[in-house]
Amino acid sequence: ISTPEGLVMRVVVPDGISKPYMDKNGVIWVKSGADKRKATSREEIQRLYQSAGLIHGDEIPVPGMTVSDLDVDYFKAFFEKNFGETLEQQDVSLPDILHNMNLMKDGVLNISGALLFAKKPSYKLPMFIVKAIAFPGNDIHETNYQDSRDITGKLADVFQQSMSFVLGNIHHIQGDQDVNAPGQPEIPSIALEELIANALIHRDYFVSAPIRIFVFDNRVEIISPGHLPNNLTVENIKSGNSNIRNPILASFATKILPYRGLGSGITRALKAYPDIHFEDDRDGNLFKVIIPRVVHE
């Protein structure tokens, strides 16, 4: 490039397709401001592999969780409903079926298999739950709350209980309905369904932390471990873009939850309730959904 001070060379190095890259000693380096440093922690290296699509949190094996931890009756009902045949009609064993469905490897359930079909997933995965709290006022209190619940169980149960918690702690508006009618929730149910399902499916399972749901007088917050993956931005997801962080969970979620995939959940929630706000906190490694409530005098 010719400038009054002389020629300037501009060099463009496109993103590679085989990340993460290592030096000749097998060390992974990451940018840190204007400098660089070694990636040293296990979690950081896992996230680098995750962002490259080489490993997914939902396929990590859960040590000690075997076919004996499976809720067999629940799995049988799911299998028959979705495949039109019973387990007993199959020519392969139950562990082989689970392996073929990407729910088990080497006799051990992975995170997807445990969260979807184990009798008590939280027994081995105590941090992958939902902590829900309803506070009086608009701030977090250490000890003062109206309702609090640790929501555990299979993914489908966690979804239903999370919905129940929020709906039980927000207002319902009668409108023109009969006085005996239950009324419509101030935040449309379809918006809550989409946002809670998205939190359960797309959270970062490399981060050992629960999803948090806070109900305040003026808003509801849904806080998921892990910021948006790769180069996704808030504007991207509002426009329907997506990057599936947990492909196994996502593939089963369309059969278990009111989840349609394809990046349509956020746009559907916004269509039902346009005032939703999103915060992608990369420093704190979390994603926050803020849903304003109707203020009632």
What pLDDT score was predicted for residue 44? 66
The percentage of residues in the chain with a pLDDT greater than 70, rounded to a whole number, is 89
Q: Give the domain extent around 214.
A: 130-292
The percentage of residues in the chain with a pLDDT greater than 90, rounded to a whole number, is 64
Same domain, 158 and 78: no
Same domain, 88 and 101: yes
**Confidence class of residue 183 from pLDDT cuts 50, 70 and 90?**
confident
What pLDDT score was predicted for residue 232? 81
- Beta-carbon contacts of 79 under 8 Å, excluding residues fewer than 6 positions away, are 85, 86, 87, 97
62-83: average pLDDT: 96
Q: Please report, for the domain that includes residue 287, its CATH number.
A: 3.30.565.60
How many CB atoms are closer than 10 A to CB 190?
A: 15
Same domain, 92 and 170: no
160-176: average pLDDT: 90
Same domain, 166 and 286: yes
Which of 25-34, 108-117, 283-292 is the least confident region? Answer: 25-34
- Cis preceding linkage at 185, omega within 30: no
Q: Mean pLDDT across the chain, nearest whole number?
A: 88
What pLDDT score was predicted for residue 230? 72
Same domain, 74 and 153: no
| Token duo for residue 180 | 């005996």
Q: Which of 76, 73, 72, 74 is nearest to 86 (CA)?
A: 76
What pLDDT score was predicted for residue 159? 97
Same domain, 180 and 229: yes
Instruction: Read off the pLDDT of residues 224-268 as tens digits, 9 standing for 90 and up.
Output: 999 888 778 899 888 887 777 899 999 998 899 887 766 678 899
Same domain, 19 and 114: no
Q: Are 163 and 186 in contact (CB under 8 A)?
A: no
In a domain, 4, yes or no: no
Same domain, 141 and 81: no
Number of structural domains, the chain?
Answer: 3
Same domain, 66 and 97: yes
Q: Which of 56, 59, 50 is nearest to 19 (CA)?
A: 50
In a domain, 267, yes or no: yes
Of the two residues 207 and 292, the one the predictor is more confident about is 292
Q: pTM for the full model?
A: 0.81
**Confidence class of residue 296 from pLDDT cuts 50, 70 and 90?**
low
Same domain, 169 and 35: no
Instruction: Read off the pLDDT of residues 189-204 as tens digits, 9 standing for 90 and up.
Output: 999 999 999 999 999 9
Q: Are 59 and 107 in contact (CB under 8 A)?
A: no
Same domain, 255 and 225: yes
How many CB atoms are closer than 10 A to CB 241?
A: 15
In a domain, 99, yes or no: yes
DSSP one-letter code for 15:
P
Q: Are 285 and 207 in contact (CB under 8 A)?
A: yes
